[in-house]
Amino acid sequence: MKKTLAVMVNEIRTSLGRKAFVILSLGLPLLVGLIVLVVILLRRDTATTAPSETGPEVPETTGYVDPAGLIQVIPSDVPDGWLISYPDEATAQSALEAGEIRGYYVVPAGYLQSGELSYVQLDFDFISGNRLDHDPMGWVLLVNLFGGDEAAATDAWRPMDVNWQQATAPGAAGQDASDQGWIAELLPNLMAFLLYMAIILPASTLVSTVTDEKKNRVMEILLSSVSPGQLIGGKILALGLLGLLQIALWVAVLWVVAHLGGQALAIPPGFSIPTSLLVWCLVYSLLGYAMYGSQMAGLGALAPDVKDTSGPIMIVLSPLILVYMFLVIIVSRPESALPVALSLFPLTSPVAMMARMTATDVPLWQPLLAAALQLATAIVIVRAVARLFHAQALLSGQPFSLKTYGRALLGRS
């Protein structure tokens, strides 16, 4: 065990020294997390006023010209001096050009019939232009349409006073995706991506670590110190741990999004990722890694060079690639036959089941059955691949092909 741990520690250090691995597995979640944090902080800083209980947020000073004569009162929650009345457009234009107001509304005489009004500003502001909030002016007009009755206007403004409560998990957030905004729509894809990365990256790295040692001709020295089992065991453990670290980082990013994103990222109140989903994510990533990582290690054991493995790697990983091709269907129609089949077939189920579980409420027996099938498959694959880890294969420089690999797995070479 001591030597297995020594191999594991060295493998972790070596993998963390590989730029591509660090960037993709650790750097990417950290970068995404950093960007999310920056966005949250920036949006919080730019918010001018706390949300009003009755109406929308109030922007900086704005003018209006009211040929329709509609605006008789200014609602009580609009700060003094925010909305300035101008007798005509020429005066308002002068104030605009003088920088006294950021823009002005013109409420035309036929507003009550057409419902149209215009807003005038000097230049299009690329930063704030798209986000210009006209709701405060709408609130002013609404109060005046109700003859100054702010209570009635409030009821009209918010006809439902929804009391958000966390329900037990249909899908990720306890509500339909349509209620949960972009985060709920994106979450199944995110979870599928997370699983995909957590399985593929460490598994692919496993191939290169084994072939690198063959290429550097260190293998024979290693085999005079450790057994093939200790060598491969240490490597599989190391990359499995790094895979878990990768998942932990992504989960941390999702936690930041769910708990700190709030209004800044338009995360609906009450949104959360159920703990059970994260536990399933952990289980499927470990089982997925066991199935694919062991196959990759087997490729590394037989191939003299990592260059020889690119074709076979694509074929071994094709079930996962297949899931990605059908991800849109899995997410949009998670209860249809194909997504259910893909989420139960062991080689596709880690990613497909996570995507389904995030998109809809999956009966418990399905993830349990999927996990059981994955475990059984992993045992079969690990046993078959274990046959490849003997010194003769590891020291061989024989040409490699998928056929060689298949025959070796079946114990025919």
What is the contact surface with another protein in residues (CB under 8 A)? 2-3, 6-7, 10, 13-14, 17, 213, 216-227, 391-392, 395
Residues 361 and 237: their CA atoms lie apart, in Å, by 33
> What would the two tokens of residue 128 be?
């704030």
Nearest to 285 by CA among 354, 199, 355, 369: 199
Nearer to another protein, 43 or 390 (CB): 390
Nearer to another protein, 221 or 380 (CB): 221
**Min separation Cβ 221 and another protein, Å:** 6
Q: Most distant CA pair in the chain: distance in Å?
A: 95
Kindly give, in sequence order, each residue whose CB lies less than 8 Å from that of residue 102, ignoring residues fewer than 6 positions away.
Answer: 59, 60, 61, 62, 121
**Min separation Cβ 295 and another protein, Å:** 25
**Min separation Cβ 219 and another protein, Å:** 7
**Min separation Cβ 231 and another protein, Å:** 9
**Min separation Cβ 211 and another protein, Å:** 13
Note whether 287 and 371 are within 8 A (CB). yes
- 3-class SS of residue 118: strand
Nearer to another protein, 150 or 213 (CB): 213
Note whether 141 and 107 are within 8 A (CB). yes
Each residue of 170-198: b (16+ CB within 10 Å) or e? ebbbbbebeebbebbebbbbbbbbbbbbb
Nearer to another protein, 338 or 391 (CB): 391
- 3-class SS of residue 286: helix
**Min separation Cβ 304 and another protein, Å:** 13
Nearer to another protein, 219 or 388 (CB): 219
Nearer to another protein, 2 or 168 (CB): 2
Helix axes 337-344, 349-359, angle to 10 degrees: 130
Residues 296 and 314: their CA atoms lie apart, in Å, by 11
Other CB atoms closer than 10 Å to residue 259's CB: what's the count? 12
Lookup result for tokens 């490597």: 235
Nearer to another protein, 134 or 387 (CB): 387
Nearer to another protein, 9 or 34 (CB): 9
**Min separation Cβ 12 and another protein, Å:** 12
**Min separation Cβ 401 and another protein, Å:** 17
Nearest to 261 by CA among 273, 249, 248: 273
Nearest to 232 by CA among 209, 266, 257: 209
